[in-house]
Structure 1
Amino acid sequence: MMDASVLRPAARRFALLRAAPALGIGAALVALALTLSNDFYLYVAFMAGVYYICASGMNVLAGYAGQKSLGQAGLFAAGAYTVALLTTRLELPPALALAAAPLVAAAVGVLIALPSLRVKGPSLALVTLAFGLVVEKLVTEWTDLFGGAQGIYGIAPLTLGDEPFALKHWVVLVIVLGVAVHLALSHLLNGRFGRALLALQSDEIAAECAGISVYRYKTLAFVLAAALCGLGGALVAQQNQYFNSDFVTFHLSVFILLLVLLGGAGNIYGPIAGAAILTMTEVFLAQWPSVQHFIYGAMLLFALYLMPTGVAGAIARVLPRRMAVLDGVETPPLTAMQRGRAEPSAGPLLEVTDVSKAFGGVVTADKVGLRLHAHRIHALIGPNGAGKSTLINILTGVISADSGTIRLAGQDITRGTAHARAARGIARTFQNLRLFGSMTVLDNVLIGAHARIGVTGREEDAVAKAKAVLDFVGLGEHAGALAGSLPYGLQRRVELARALAGDPVLLLLDEPAAGLNPRETAELGQLIKRIGQLGVAVLMVEHDMGLVMRISDEIVVLDRGVVIAEGAPRDIQTNPRVIEAYLGREDSPAPDGPESDKEERPC
């Protein structure tokens, strides 16, 4: 494995290049704000900055994690009422109250996320909408605490010396905070965290099996969105020195979501475009308040159906895609796996004992036992409906076993989650492709290394390893291509590369040759043999018997959820129970069950 230190200077230069435009534009905007004396223009600039901060958090939640929320007005209110109550009731310093506001909003966000993220899609939007309506009703009716429509007056603003901030000072502050938010999110979302959110938005099962804790990352996205929305509310409350229930409306929640959708969900620059366009639209529509809702609704439909990637996405499509971190990097061939992973010196790597699973009255696994060894290729075969894919799902934690035990390198993982098993070194591919098609090939492979990046803490190491894996499977020249744009056979290899990127000790392949032509199947067989030589234990579910017999060291046969045979390929080919399971028998019943089907069952 190459020394990733050759990547670090390039990565640092790339990060500085990314930060330079934001810092330059921020400095120019501060200089412009200090020269303005028109309060109207300054207030418009201030609100544009507040909207950007709120939209940046919402972009993490809706654009990257794919979780649409209609309760952001409640979180905006959480931040605003925090500074209001802390400065008027407890008389805390304004700066301390401002710092506390996003923390309180984040805590409220956790309380909402825990139940809300158990549901998806429209159900999630309805749950968050209910939260927003509850908050609106609460602050309206609980007048003793929140002041209702009358509101809370005398909110202490930030001061410069002994004087309260002038409007231009608020504009400068919101610009500084906006640049800081942009740089922080740019660093966060252009790395491991952002890839994880995009992966779970695309395919939660594939993301979980790559080592990503889906629920944890959704919760983190919700907390970030809540904290930034709370910060926006706190800034508005302190600048106005007044806040009431009129600010907390469903209209505000829709407006914040529209900022993201129109600007470009899932694009780091989307909130900037959305804040600029919608702030000017709001100023323009101020003279016709009766048509505001109609115009915003029309813009939302336009964003959803005619410009799904938003303004920033439309611009990004015409810009060249660059892989700056990989420029000029020479990667030596992959020669070893399992760095830093425990492997028993003797005995099986994976030991499955009496594992059973039933769906209603259908038993798909009946006291299954397996022993898999490192450096060996095991095949799992059987007729259609034998329970092969169910067993793969049990081993990877996608579904849980009803009974039995599973041990990896001597450790019990029976109750482990899919992402925890991936972190321990169990990787897999899927019967039906589960690629993250809108992401690059390199990013797909980096997602496979998600758990390993968490251990090493170095993105550069993961990029070097991902490049080595791509070269190993013959995809080095496709690193920058979108995974969904490749031919089907290459997409199969991308999924295999993603599985290898996590340094697995056990690789589970669910029908890897499905849909491949004979040449591609032969090449796949050679690749799987090379993977076994790296020290990985391979368990392959496959219907292509030619491939199975050519490359397998040991074959396990399932029929109706029961292991009926195991051994070397030549022994399996002549085993009477295997022949009976595949072809059926007309002259006698099965040795230990009812009469077999008389018609041929396909392999």
Structure 2
Amino acid sequence: MRIPLIAAGVVLAAIPVFWGDAYYLNMLILIFLLATMASSWNIMGGYTGYISLGQSAFLGIGAYTTAIAANAWSISPLLAAPLGGLVAGALAALLGLVTFRTRGNAFIMITFAMLHLLGIVALNWTSVTNGNDGMILPAPTWERNYALWPFYYVLLGLLALTLLMSKTIAASRFGLGLTAIREDEEKAAGIGVNTSAAKLAAFVASAVPIGIAGGVYGYYLGFLDSRAMFSIVTSIMIVLAALLGGTGTLWGPVLGAFLLEPFSQLTNQLFTGPAAGAWRLIVFGGLLLAVLLFLPQGIIPGVRQALARRKSAAVGKRLAPGDIPAWLTVREGARLEVRDVRKSFGGLTVLDGLDLTVEPGSITGLIGPNGSGKTTLFNLIDGATKPDGGQILLDGRRIETADRWARSRAGLGRTHQITRLFPKLSVLRNVVAGSDGTWAAPAITGAQAARGVELLELVGLSDYRDLPAGELSYGQQKLVELIQILMLQPRLVLLDEPAGGINPTQIEQMGALIRELNRTGTTFLIVEHNMPFVLGICDTVHVLAGGRRIASGTPQEVRSDPLVLDAYLTGASQ
């Protein structure tokens, strides 16, 4: 791959020297601009999964910042363009603090509103932007024979740097965290990814190159008009280029830009007059809809999928005693205390002053009829939901207000009733996604890969390390989710129906794995409807009904408790 890239770079660098046709140089300048913006957008929209329709706002911010600085300081706009990137990044950081309270369609609408609002500000802040009169940038000082060369090479270099940044992010733990957020943000937080910080950093990283490009583009045009610089058509083209080539890939946005920009030039020739902008919006909006409907993956992912050879479902091995890696041994399992915890949804009280304790090093069961509050309690313990009152303590420290990722780093791990893996990521990437490491570290270090493979061998799935996790069977996904949590070396593991939906052989395998892990010191709290499983594996069992604990004791004591029998027969405790 390296040789073709070097060859392509040499060819592009030589074009102005050996083939100086102004039309094609202008075309390539605009392609480089669009590719830079689409590759930057891809960090936020492709890697992280947050679709923004407001990225052209950073183009306008960069252009106006550059023009103001160049005119005020009498310097070349090319020298002032990096300042445009810095201002765009700072604005992204400020906006991110507000916009990331939302996600999905709400985030799309907020970014669109941001673009529209900034356009209005640029139009009406006449003392700074000259409003309708626009801003004129200093004329280039180099010879007319080379009029386009500086713009060509600066934007080509900026594209190369943007691609390098994108590649570096994709290969880092930061990038792995972003893709985990894209697949399942709540799950990512649950395995220790600081989602708020990661999203903010990705938004800033996606804004800076666009801001710099805006400064260069404004100088290229020589004149700034707020309507053109804050155009929704430009934002749509950015998104469309990334979608067309393939979001989440390095080269997809570049391919999309090379295909889309010539079509854009064609529409400029076809549509003229006052209604040209409206027609271009219709055309590109329709094209965006067509791509979403008929080519949702984009060209590069579609080709990869067509060429991929899929493996059949894996067959797990039976667990052998002594297979637990030594590095999973913990000094002491965690102690969990739930004190007077209350939770209501509207007028429905789900937990009503609940108290219970999970002793360190135990396997504790939590049972009760449907609607008794078991899963809600798990959600409160791991931070998916906040309690209305009461305290939750892990080893004596209150955690009920801590972020989910912080609870994970404190030694708390959780699986879910319906498995929540990152389906498009490989099995190995799923296993190591929550591992410790700085953002700049490789996505998977050699040591992490070795530990991940060791855990996969433990459950008989090492041959499927490179298979997308979504292609595993449901029972195999249960096992992968458990070892994903084990990679964090937790001291307390919450298992939400680990035996649910899997066959008897896998239930036996799951039970053996839990016992072996418990012997190494790990504490378990298990919610389960499979009574033979939970009563056969647990030391202590707590029984919930009506949001309260109605019984606690050994499995034998709980099994014969009249209150427990009544709760399961009536569905509630009076």
TM-score by length of 1: 0.85
Q: Secondary structure at the match of 1:448?
A: coil
Deviation at 1:268, TM superposition (A): 1.7
Query: Deviation per CA, 1:504-523, whole angstroms, max 9, x where unpaired?
Result: 11110101111112222122
* SS of equivalent residue, structure 1 residue 71: coil
Q: Quick one: distance in 2 between partners of 1:424 and 1:305?
A: 44
1:523 lines up with 2:509 in the alignment: yes
For the 8 Å contact 1:364–1:387, the answer to whether it is kept is yes
- Specify the SS of the correspondent of 1:173: helix
1:47 aligned residue (3, 23, 30): 30
Q: Which residue of 2 aligns with 1:336?
A: 326
- Listed as ranges, the gaps of 5+ residues in structure 2 are 311-321
- Is the contact between residue 456 and residue 462 of structure 2 (CA under 8 Å) also seen in structure 1? yes
Which residue does 2:180 correspond to in 1?
A: 199
Structure 2 CA distance for aligned equivalents of residues 455 and 174 of structure 1: 28
Give the corresponding residue for 1:252. Answer: 234
Aligned match of 1:168: 149
Which residue among 274, 294, 305 is the counterpart of 2:256? 274
Amino acid at match of 1:275: A
Normalised TM-score (structure 2): 0.89
Instruction: Pick the aligned partner of 1:263 from 229, 233, 245.
Output: 245
Aligned to 2:437: 453
Q: CA–CA distance in 2 between the matches of 1:573 and 1:511?
A: 19
- Equivalent in 114, 121, 125 of residue 97 of structure 2: 114
Q: Which runs of 5+ in 1 are unaligned?
A: 1-16, 323-331, 595-603
Question: 2:332 touches 2:361 (CA, 8 Å); kept in 1?
Answer: no
Alignment of 1:83-232 (within 5 A): 83-92=66-75, 94=77, 96-155=79-138, 166-232=147-213
In structure 1, the partner of 2:297 is 309
Judge conservation of contact 1:427–1:507 (CA < 8 Å) in 2. yes
Contact map agreement 1:335 1:534 (CA 8 A) in 2:
no
User: In 1, distance between residues paired with 2:138 and 2:479?
Assistant: 60
User: Which one of 300, 305, 323 corresponds to residue 288 of structure 2?
Assistant: 300
Partners of 2:551 and 2:564 within 8 A in 1 = yes
Q: Matched residue of 1:287: which SS? A: helix
Q: In structure 2, how many angstroms separate the alpha carbons of the residues matched to 1:462 and 1:135?
A: 45
Q: Is the 8 A contact 1:336 1:535 kept in 2?
A: no
CA distance in 2, matches of 1:142, 1:189: 39
Structure 1 counterpart of 2:223:
242
Q: Structure 1 segments of 4 or more deviating over 6 A?
A: 162-165
How many percent of aligned residue pairs carry the same amino acid?
33
- Counterpart secondary structure, 1:378: strand
Q: How much does 1:166 deviate?
A: 4.0
Corresponding residue of 2:536: 550
State the Cα deviation string for residues 32-77 of structure 1 (Å, max 9, x = none).
3432322221121111111111101111222222222222222110
Q: What is the one-letter code of the residue matched to 1:209?
A: G
| Number of matched pairs | 554
Residues 40 and 321 from structure 1, CA distance in 2 versus in 1: closer, same or farther, beyond 3 angstroms?
farther
Greater alpha carbon shift after TM alignment, 297-306 vs 390-399? 297-306
Change (3 A) 1:109 1:425: same
Letter paired with 1:135: L
Deviates further, 541-550 or 202-211: 202-211
Q: Aligned pair 1:36/2:16, yes or no? A: no
| Alignment-mate amino acid for residue 251 of structure 1 | V
Paired residue for 2:553, among 535, 543, 567? 567
Q: Which residue of 2 aligns with 1:4?
A: none
Deviation at 1:426, TM superposition (A): 0.9
RMSD (Å) for aligned C-alpha atoms:
2.8
Distance 2:309 2:397 in 1: 44
C-alpha deviations, 1:427-448, integer Å up to 9, x for none? 1111122222222211221223
Q: Secondary structure of the equivalent of 2:133?
A: coil
1:212 match: secondary structure: coil
Equivalence for 2:62 = 79
Equivalent position amino acid for 1:148 in 2: G
2:559 & 2:185 partners in 1: Cα distance? 39
| Equivalent-residue separation in structure 1 for 2:359 and 2:146 (angstroms) | 69
Shift of residue 242, structure 1, vs aligned partner: 2.9
> Shift of residue 31 of structure 1?
2.7
Per the alignment, residue 436 of structure 1 pairs with 422
CA–CA distance in structure 2, aligned partners of residues 283 and 372 of structure 1: 67
Q: Give the C-alpha shift of residue 500 in structure 1.
A: 1.5
Q: Does 1:492 align with 2:475?
A: no
Kindly indicate whether the alpha-carbon contact (under 8 Å) linking 2:52 and 2:107 is maintained by their aligned counterparts in 1.
yes
Q: How does 1:391-540 map to 2 (within 5 A)?
A: 391-449=377-435, 452-454=436-438, 457=441, 459-460=444-445, 461-540=447-526
Q: Is the 8 A contact 2:76 2:138 kept in 1?
A: no
Q: CA deviation at 1:408?
A: 1.9
* TM-superposed deviation, 1:125: 2.1
